[in-house]
Structure 1
């Protein structure tokens, strides 16, 4: 949607018609849509006031929206004030491009006087210059240029240049490039050049896929930046940490005020806030977005969690929402999360929940295997669970269990040392910093850490006796109930961490919207998450919801039995066990913390409060 703006007499109509003919798209002259009263007023040398323009501007906005459902178009309109432009681009901001034809008062005054049959007399020109507010978003073009040069400039800056840039062509970066291209966006792609190591990465990638035929490929930063429409929108898909800072410094000399950098990696939310603040001093916008879905999600539609300046987000909203997954109502699994690094924060929590979901399935696999099931049997069991416990991770674990290599199942050949990339660690540290008991995330993380110690585990196994004859007195349906019980506790803890952060940092996060964008595209999508979308519309604590309360009360007896049997038979189930311990703890009205307070007061005079004293006064006792 191209709006050509400027005072009367600057040549908007002429340029608009020529541009529409060149691009083969419709042309509309805003003056043709004025009301009769407006035309009469201007013909009588009376300047229009804001009230006169309201209906006219809304009419043009409706026209633009209607045309965008069909194709692009060119509309010429004076649009002298920012609030006029806001009305014209209402709900289509990210799809709108502005061209301002600018010239001096004398230059345009002379043009008007020699132009016949125009309804606005030259005497009103000064009133237009008086209210003119130059748009920072518009492409500024001097009307001294020939019409041919003006058209060429518009095409070079707004049409021929790429709409969006992606910096870094790793696995996720490449998949996102193909996603953008498949959705019809003209993109520029960049990957660094390292002699003998990384050469022609972008060009070779472009030649490999037909959908990238219109994309531009670069290994030179100045050329890459220059290829993008302003304000430039560049998504960084490089490793989190110092690499992001190095890339920012490399890009800064080539950026312009108002350009937008988007960090699509798993960055720490604190560092995202620092980068937002730093780039604000450079007049550059920085948006941190969580992206979940892995390689397949990045290609076919991920869940996207953006945060930062809301006005900057609106300029990239169309791109991110278009490439994202869609929920059951066909809405994008992408929503503006909040300010600062809140997008990366909830991606961190997402990954913490993901750690637990994976650990729970691993523990359940071990239990079912102990019950005598081979991996294919486990897969069959998981298939029967999908009706009541459907999730992406359950689906892929079912597939994993069926995979054979030769005569044996592949899972039996995989070394039992689990890796991690840091987000589970950050989630655990953040929980401690905020004072939130995210015990399941910590349990899942530390289970991975224990797995690292393979050699020590083999050594210590010889030193400690374990039960040899395993007699698990449990049924498969009890294992399912235990799994469902623990998953509810996991989701309670994850969203509780989000609530506490939202309150502490004044982010005003919408839990229902966060749950909604996690219903598709992301790793933790599930039927439980879909239920939470509605539950979070009325509460921020799922343990107060009657449906959740009934389910936990229904599942808990089986969970207690399964975990007890695992303990008696030396089967390692830390996350399943912790789910029960946590619910017991969070629902206990009077805990053993009184002993801890007494101990603290004894050795450190830390004082304590009394249950028989409502004044909240601190007390100290000489215990000897």
Structure 2
């Protein structure tokens, strides 16, 4: 891919009138040999007349002017970089100026005291803006967080040198850790026009010149900087520095933070893009806040391909810091069906890593359900090609990324046999399923399907014991299971709805418990593309969650559950009768029966607890909420 666009930037020189914007802008454009435009030249006559009469412009006056300059910047980017001088005193003005070109926009703020600039304005001949209006500009000035701050007391030559050194020769974004995901994200950032710095540690004889060799491997990284020294890596970045950590979760993150801290400055931003535990993310946020460093915990889903072509990203932490990195994260993320980025500010603290954890829990279940469904189809006499064809036919009603890849898996052959038949039946896990199950228990939320999928992986790992026990116990093998492929499809659809109910219920309960104020509709929206659990069901949930936090209260889903439940009961019953293991499908039916039962057997549990431990109980015929105890002997 041609990467020359990484050099194309719109450099906005901003500040109040009289700070020297035009002088610096012209000198910079000459030094960089790129076009220069003075924003004042693009004011409509009505604005010029208004300012000449001593009246300050309001936001309505500026709207069209700002849009004109934004169009100018976009037009220039098709040819080359450029310098545009514009006061841009408010953040919303800067948002208009950089609309749709955020990644190509650079800000330079020329700042000085009112006294300094007042004197300058008074000394300028024939300027249409009287110095009396200067105070109104200072009054509305909102200092930009993401601009290169330049003191106007410096000489023009010094200012130009500083801009060139800190803006043009430094990187916008740093990526720390070049594993599979880190490398893919680097290429994604570079392909989207960002100048990046890449770091990977140096270990003699094990990891040597990783960043340098990676850069040489891909043409899109020609403008990237490669490092194996932390100090030079950090110093290669524009301030405030934005560094994304793509290293193993756990203690490694803490070690990396401690290694980076001596080289960082106040307001720098660290982004943890790994699968970190949300509790640890909150602790790191609090710790780094004492150092003046912002910390963002960002769940990233999509695997190697998603990281390269567009993942789903779930950032959380300090909102001000997110605004400083969102242009990067949103640009590289996948896009939903409306073209919006599958990246959104989730909420405070570790909420981004929490919903990534739940995402992985839902993913565990979706994978387990497809494995169980495939086993049932196999017992119906289908070979892997037949199973692939059946799953392919389900795409119209149950489309998902995991269904798609499972179909492909069953088609893959190695020699004369299907590869899936040669894979050892021991499933691994990296811990997020454990964390989701633990969090569910801590929050008192019955995420039974996630626990079932997790423990199914644990059972699979006891391969030798399973072989031994299989010899001790007879398995009923029926010549014919009394179910159709449509029954299996409907049972699968039933269980998927229950899975998504439980997953989002866990998110909603955590949001209430921790006062995160999470938006379930927005979370489901960023899960409609890029991530592993993207599906048409997820797309439907975007609208469902606009009106409820409980999908089992939605009329359309109620109808579907009622339609699918008979098939789910039939399939699970047949599997039990034929000794076919379907823990997730079975748990979906059991959980649904429990959550929809008006009076459960929990009264007996309470009586037992009161009998042996005097734990008391409440009575149906006493609405006061009073606790009762009985001497049961």
Q: TM-score, normalised by structure 1?
A: 0.93
Q: 1:19 to 1:580 in 2, by over 3 A?
A: same
- 2:251 and 2:72 map into 1 onto residues whose CA distance is 45
- 2:83 and 2:481 map into 1 onto residues whose CA distance is 73
- 1:132 and 1:577 map into 2 onto residues whose CA distance is 62
Judge which range, 65-74 or 412-421, deviates more.
Answer: 65-74
Residue 287 of structure 2 corresponds to 278
Residue 49 of structure 2 corresponds to 36
Which whole-Å deviations, capped at 9, do the CAs of 1:336-376 have from their partners, x for residues lacking one?
11111111111111100000000001111111111111111
CA contact (8 A) 1:35 1:56 kept: no
CA contact (8 A) 2:244 2:272 kept: yes
Q: 1:391 to 1:100 in 2, by over 3 A?
A: closer
The answer to whether residue 506 in structure 2 is matched with residue 497 in structure 1 is yes
CA contact (8 A) 1:20 1:27 kept: no
Residue 74 of structure 2 corresponds to 69
CA contact (8 A) 1:485 1:559 kept: yes
Residue 541 of structure 2 corresponds to 532
The answer to whether residue 421 in structure 2 is matched with residue 412 in structure 1 is yes
Q: What is the Cα deviation at residue 29 of structure 1?
A: 3.7
The answer to whether residue 469 in structure 2 is matched with residue 460 in structure 1 is yes
Q: What is the Cα deviation at residue 107 of structure 1?
A: 6.6
Alignment of 1:470-489 (within 5 A): 470-489=479-498
Q: 2:430 aligns with which of 421, 436, 459?
A: 421
CA contact (8 A) 1:285 1:309 kept: yes
Q: 1:435 aligns with which of 444, 456, 461?
A: 444
SS of the equivalent of 2:628 reads coil
Alignment of 1:114-513 (within 5 A): 115-119=124-128, 137-143=146-152, 145-513=154-522
- 2:169 and 2:192 map into 1 onto residues whose CA distance is 17
- 1:613 and 1:109 map into 2 onto residues whose CA distance is 77
Which whole-Å deviations, capped at 9, do the CAs of 1:487-532 have from their partners, x for residues lacking one?
1111111111111111111111111111111111111111111111
- 2:479 and 2:156 map into 1 onto residues whose CA distance is 87
SS of the equivalent of 1:540 reads coil
Q: What is the Cα deviation at residue 220 of structure 1?
A: 0.9
Residue 45 of structure 1 corresponds to none
Q: What is the Cα deviation at residue 314 of structure 1?
A: 1.4
Q: 1:399 to 1:87 in 2, by over 3 A?
A: closer
Q: 1:543 to 1:146 in 2, by over 3 A?
A: same
- 1:109 and 1:497 map into 2 onto residues whose CA distance is 58
Residue 4 of structure 2 corresponds to none
- 1:314 and 1:322 map into 2 onto residues whose CA distance is 13
CA contact (8 A) 1:30 1:75 kept: no
Q: What is the Cα deviation at residue 195 of structure 1?
A: 0.8
Residue 90 of structure 1 corresponds to 95
SS of the equivalent of 2:472 reads coil
Q: 1:24 aligns with which of 15, 18, 34?
A: 34
Q: What is the Cα deviation at residue 116 of structure 1?
A: 3.6
Q: 1:429 to 1:107 in 2, by over 3 A?
A: closer
- 2:141 and 2:504 map into 1 onto residues whose CA distance is 48
CA contact (8 A) 1:13 1:29 kept: no
- Please give the root-mean-square deviation of Cα atoms over the aligned residues, in Å: 2.4
**Unaligned ranges ≥5, structure 1:** 42-47
Q: What is the Cα deviation at residue 65 of structure 1?
A: 2.9
- 2:351 and 2:426 map into 1 onto residues whose CA distance is 32
- 1:136 and 1:390 map into 2 onto residues whose CA distance is 43
- 1:76 and 1:31 map into 2 onto residues whose CA distance is 10
SS of the equivalent of 1:89 reads helix
CA contact (8 A) 2:109 2:150 kept: yes
CA contact (8 A) 1:236 1:265 kept: yes
CA contact (8 A) 1:471 1:569 kept: no
- 2:310 and 2:14 map into 1 onto residues whose CA distance is 36
Q: What is the Cα deviation at residue 479 of structure 1?
A: 1.0
Q: What is the Cα deviation at residue 418 of structure 1?
A: 0.3
Q: 1:451 to 1:26 in 2, by over 3 A?
A: same
Q: What is the Cα deviation at residue 167 of structure 1?
A: 0.7
Q: What is the Cα deviation at residue 125 of structure 1?
A: 7.2
Judge which range, 149-158 or 92-101, deviates more.
Answer: 92-101
Judge which range, 89-98 or 464-473, deviates more.
Answer: 89-98
- 2:13 and 2:323 map into 1 onto residues whose CA distance is 21
- 2:162 and 2:295 map into 1 onto residues whose CA distance is 28
Q: 1:391 to 1:129 in 2, by over 3 A?
A: closer
Q: What is the Cα deviation at residue 288 of structure 1?
A: 1.0
- 1:209 and 1:618 map into 2 onto residues whose CA distance is 70
Residue 5 of structure 2 corresponds to none
Judge which range, 86-95 or 287-296, deviates more.
Answer: 86-95
Q: 1:226 to 1:569 in 2, by over 3 A?
A: same
- 1:368 and 1:3 map into 2 onto residues whose CA distance is 62
Q: 1:471 to 1:404 in 2, by over 3 A?
A: same
Q: 1:456 to 1:13 in 2, by over 3 A?
A: same
Q: 1:479 to 1:136 in 2, by over 3 A?
A: closer
SS of the equivalent of 2:95 reads coil
The answer to whether residue 595 in structure 2 is matched with residue 589 in structure 1 is no
- 2:525 and 2:87 map into 1 onto residues whose CA distance is 41
Q: 1:123 to 1:426 in 2, by over 3 A?
A: closer
Q: 1:151 to 1:473 in 2, by over 3 A?
A: same
Q: What is the Cα deviation at residue 186 of structure 1?
A: 1.1
Judge which range, 119-128 or 278-287, deviates more.
Answer: 119-128
Q: What is the Cα deviation at residue 112 of structure 1?
A: 5.5
Q: 1:23 to 1:442 in 2, by over 3 A?
A: farther
Q: 1:314 to 1:73 in 2, by over 3 A?
A: farther
- 1:179 and 1:170 map into 2 onto residues whose CA distance is 14
Judge which range, 88-97 or 148-157, deviates more.
Answer: 88-97
Q: 1:615 to 1:223 in 2, by over 3 A?
A: same
Q: What is the Cα deviation at residue 265 of structure 1?
A: 0.5
Task: Tell me the number of residue pairs that the alignment of Structure 1 and Structure 2 aligns.
Answer: 612
SS of the equivalent of 2:532 reads coil
Q: TM-score, normalised by structure 2?
A: 0.91
- 2:366 and 2:25 map into 1 onto residues whose CA distance is 57
CA contact (8 A) 1:370 1:470 kept: no
Q: What is the Cα deviation at residue 119 of structure 1?
A: 4.3
Q: 1:546 aligns with which of 555, 564, 577?
A: 555
Judge which range, 183-192 or 589-598, deviates more.
Answer: 183-192
Which whole-Å deviations, capped at 9, do the CAs of 1:150-170 have from their partners, x for residues lacking one?
223212212221111111000
